[in-house]
Structure formats: structure tokens, C-alpha cells
Amino acid sequence: MILSRRMKESPAMRKLLRNRGALVAMSIISLYLLLFVWITSMQVVAWVGDKTDAYDLSQRPIMGALLTQRTLERVGGSNQPGFGLIAEPSKRIEQVKFFFDRAGKIFTELDQQKENAADIPEGEARTVEEIMAFSRLAERQVAEIDIEELRAIHSKGMALFAEQDTLRELRSTVPKIQIATEKLAEFQAQLDQSDDIEILYDDLALTIDEIIELIDDYAQIIADENDPLVSIDTSSLVEAMDALYDLEPMDPVYDQAVIDQIKAGLFVAGEGINDAVEAKLGEIEPVLAELYPMPTGIEGLVYKFRLMLGTDQQGRSILLRALYSAKIAIQVGLIVSFFAVFFGSIIGAAAGYFGGAIDHIVIWLYSTFSSIPYLVLLVVLSFMFTGSPVEKTLIPLYVAFSLTFWIGPCRVTRGEALKLKSLDYVQAAQALGASKARILLKHIIPNTSHLMFINSSLLFIGAIKGEVVLTYLGLGLKEGASWGIMISQSNTEIVSGFFWQIGAATFFMFVLVLAFNILTDALQDAFDPKHVG
């Protein structure tokens, strides 16, 4: 109560609370901190459950949603866009095919177990339920129906895929027909100029035969009488081809009107193939809904939440990875800023107040460290842990940042301590016989607390950005989820025009850093004695 009343009566606190930008920034930071507390708490609860074998928190749809292992879990196809947006047809085909291939592994393993039943030791063969559970994608799993019914649905979908593959292969037929018509025109132009007429007749006949066969192949697959290529009557070309083989060409050699009709049909035939491919995809997706039905209830809501920002190249939830990365960033920021400000402020205050040899040693230390390029020093310190047992943890980052970030608080606090030790109340304490240690702890350090607040906020931002940079370079966090890892893994996705992962990582980091920048300015304005009104 006393502390609360003193805070309300503090001019600095009143000035801070009147700053609307600071209040908005603190609200945003509070949300990030709540996320950090939630994830950390659930990790502790999950650890207790694992040690006691009492429960498995990772199977709980809400409480276990943001555990480390869930951020590495595949939830769908690769590079699925977020906010319910639909990918282009070629990417949708790839994503749908992924589900059918995953379900197909169920039947492959069951068939292998059946064939090798005599060679499998008793009790080692997996049950149907275990095999089906292995194909689960977070909350989404194959339909819980009879295995033979499931096999029939899978076979139906694969048959549609086979038809679609045939349609996709047909796309190469259109340019082949176009090339053949161009060759036909070249051969005809040579008739009046070549002495070897019989060879030209054979070339013309073979080219016409190729055009007829390609159109027949096209017509067998595209069973649409309104299609511009299917509706073409090629009987006159057949007659022209037979005449050329008999070395008694027609006059003209072939019906140019039919060839012109074929050329005109080629311009719209490609669109017809694309429409047919998309129509076939429209037939496959309902089958997928039977094979892999969307979860309902709470699990359905959690699964939709996972897919809100889409999936990365490995089919993992971008949203969950971005949220978990916020926890990593805050964890690094809190630990690094605490140790750097705590030790830097104490060392700086001691150097400024005691002076003498202690001051010279501290000045030499921070002068030496500050003369080394900041990023290079961080890289070297992080690289030192490569190959150690803690290489894949955050400990190298903590050590690297703590050994460099103390310089700023130390220099600022030292300067403030030099000013404070000459003030009247410090001189009075010395005259009353107070020890130097007591004066340092009771008067010097408490009166530099405003600098600690400001430096903590600044170093928090620096630690977050440093962690992202080092992780992106491969010298930070090696496993799990981090904004740096997400940005690094999005390199190949950007080439193909997929920006969801780098966009999510950048957005969450931008909001947090911006909020702390605003709060830092407000803290400096409110708690710096030169600005307090």
C-alpha cells in the first residue's frame, strides 16, 4: 500500500501515466509478457507431467498448444497461405496430394505387415489404431471408419489424381502441335525449291501424321465437343497424308483451312486444359474432406488457430512459431538486460564513487571492450561455444550479450555517480561516519535507478535484435523456434513468392521493438531529473 501510494504521488510516475503513447506501448508489452508467462508456465507443468508420468500436456489442445514440440509439429501441406486464402491451383494440388500420400503410408505399412507377418516377432507389429495415429497432423486425423472404407476413399482420390496428371501432361501437347504446324509450313515452302521431292513428301506426310495423332490424343482426354481442337475434322488431312505417302500429292498438298483452324484453336486450348485441371481438383477436395475431415469443437478451433497465418515449407504452423519466438525473445531480453544492467550499474557506481585504482580498472575494461566492433565481438563469443554441450541452448547468447551489454549502463552510471558523490547529502552522510559501502548502497545506487529503468529498456531491445541477427547467421539458437530461424528458413520461400513466414516474424518483432522504443522515450522523459516537471 505504501509503495503504491508513493508511486501515485511520484511526479515522474504521474508524467509517465499521462503519456498515451507510453500507455499503449505498456499494454502491448503486457500482452507479450502474458504470452511469455503462459508459455513458461505450461512448459513447467509439462515437465512435471513428464517426470511423474501423471499426464501428457502436449495432447491437450489448448494448454499444450504452445509447447516447444508443438511448434515443430507438422499441421498441413507446405507453404499454405493464412487467413483462409486459397493458394494457386498448382500449389493446392501439391498440398492436397500431401494428405493423400500421408494416408497412403497407412495402407503401405498394413500391406507390408500382412505380407511379412511370419517374420515379425509377436507383439512388435503395430495395430491399425497406432498406424493411423502416426498419420495424424496436430488435431486433424484420418477419418475414424473401417480401414477398407478408408482404403476405398483413398483409392478414389488417387484415381482422380491419376486423371489430373494425365491432364497436366496434356499441356505439353499444345506446343507440340504448334511446332508441327510451323514445320509443315517450312516443308511446303521448300517444295518449289528442292530437287529431292520424294523426301519432302515423306517429311510432309510424317508431320501431318504427327499433327493428327496429337489432336487425337488431345480429343481422347478432353472429351468436350465444344473444345476448338476436339471439334476439328481432320479427315482431309488424312487424305492428304495418304496421297503424300503414295507420292501422288493433292493440289493443294493439304487443306490450309484446316491447319488455320488448328492454329486458331491452339490459343484457347491451353486455357481449356487449365480449366479441366482445376475442375478435377474440385472433385478431389471433397474426397480429401472424407479422408481427412476437419476437426470440430475445441480441437477444430485450435486447428484453425494454427493455420491462421499458414504453414512454412515443412508444414508447421507459422503463427505458433511466431508466438513461441516471442517467448524466446522476451526471455533473452529479460535475462540479458537484468544481468547487464545489474552488474554494469554496480560496477559503474563503484568506479564513480570510489575513484582511484577501481575507476582506472573499470575505465580500461569498458574502453577495451567498446573498441572491438560490437557485432564481431558477439559473433566471436557465440562461436566459442560451438561444439560444447550448451551449443544448442540459449546460454551462449546470454553469456555473449551479458559480456558486452554491461558497457553502456556502466559508463552512464559512473558519470552519474561522479556527480552524486559531491552533493550535500552524500557529504553529510560521510561527515556522520557512514561507511563508503553504505553510502554506495543507500544513496548512490538508488539515485541512479532512473538510469537503470532506461538502460533496461534499451538493452532489452538490443538483446532481441541481437538474438535475431545471431540466430539468422547460425550462431544463436540452433533448434526450436525463433524469429531469426523463421527469417533464415524463409529465404527459399521468398524466391517462390511466399512471404507469410518472414512477414509474421518481422511483424511480431516490429511491434515489440516499437513498443519498447516508445516506452524508453517515455521513461527517459519521465524519470530523468532534468525532464521531470
Is residue 210 in a domain?
yes
Do 271 and 352 share a structural domain? Answer: no
Is residue 324 in a domain?
yes
Enter the C-alpha cell of residue 338.
Answer: 537484468
Peptide bond into 252 cis (omega under 30): yes
Nearest residue to 351 via CA among 410, 405, 404, 406: 410
> Over 90: is that where the pLDDT of 500 sits?
yes
Distance CA 290, CA 277 (A): 21
The per-residue pLDDT for 507 is 95
Tens digits of residue pLDDT in 59-92: 888 888 888 888 889 999 899 999 988 888 888 8
Burial of 235 (0-12, 13-18, 19+ CB in 10 A): exposed
Enter the C-alpha cell of residue 189.
Answer: 515452302
- Which residue, chain included where needed, has cell 537503470? 452
> Over 70: is that where the pLDDT of 530 sits?
no
Enter the C-alpha cell of residue 330.
Answer: 522476451
- Give the residue, 429 or 319, on which the prediction is more confident: 319
Give the structural domain span for 208: 84-137+143-291
Enter the C-alpha cell of residue 209.
Answer: 501424321
Distance CA 54, CA 32 (A): 30
Distance CA 69, CA 50 (A): 13
| DSSP assignment letter at 66 | T
Could you tell me the pLDDT band of residue 9, with boundaries at 50, 70 and 90? low
Distance CA 509, CA 520 (A): 16
The per-residue pLDDT for 3 is 39
Do 385 and 273 share a structural domain? Answer: no
The per-residue pLDDT for 528 is 62
Three-state DSSP string of 187-208: HHHCCCCCCCHHHHHHHHHHHH
Whole-Å CA distances, 15 to 19, 311, 432, 532? 7, 44, 36, 8
Chosen domain end from 257, 291, 325:
291
Q: Residue 321 contacts by C-beta under 8 Å, 6 or more apart in sequence? A: 71, 312, 481, 486, 501, 504
Do 107 and 233 share a structural domain? Answer: yes
Enter the C-alpha cell of residue 417.
Answer: 555517480
Do 320 and 267 share a structural domain? Answer: no
Distance CA 326, CA 34 (A): 11
- Total domains in the chain come to 2
Do 201 and 248 share a structural domain? Answer: yes
**What single-letter amino acid sits at 528?**
D
Is residue 533 in a domain?
no
The per-residue pLDDT for 533 is 45
Is residue 249 in a domain?
yes
Do 34 and 113 share a structural domain? Answer: no
The per-residue pLDDT for 327 is 93
Whole-Å CA distances, 41 to 48, 71, 103, 272, 327? 11, 16, 35, 56, 11
Do 285 and 382 share a structural domain? Answer: no
**What single-letter amino acid sits at 453?**
F
Cα torsion through 100, 106, 111, 114, rounded to 10: -170
Do 424 and 374 share a structural domain? Answer: yes
Tens digits of residue pLDDT in 340-370: 888 888 888 888 888 888 889 988 988 887 7
Nearest residue to 489 via CA among 329, 308, 315: 315
Do 320 and 279 share a structural domain? Answer: no
Q: What is the pTM of this model?
A: 0.81
Do 355 and 241 share a structural domain? Answer: no
CATH number of the domain to which 7 belongs: 1.10.3720.10
Is residue 475 in a domain?
yes
Is residue 369 in a domain?
yes
Task: Confirm if 500 and 82 have CB atoms less than 8 A apart.
Answer: yes
Do 170 and 33 share a structural domain? Answer: no
Could you tell me the pLDDT band of residue 128, with boundaries at 50, 70 and 90? confident
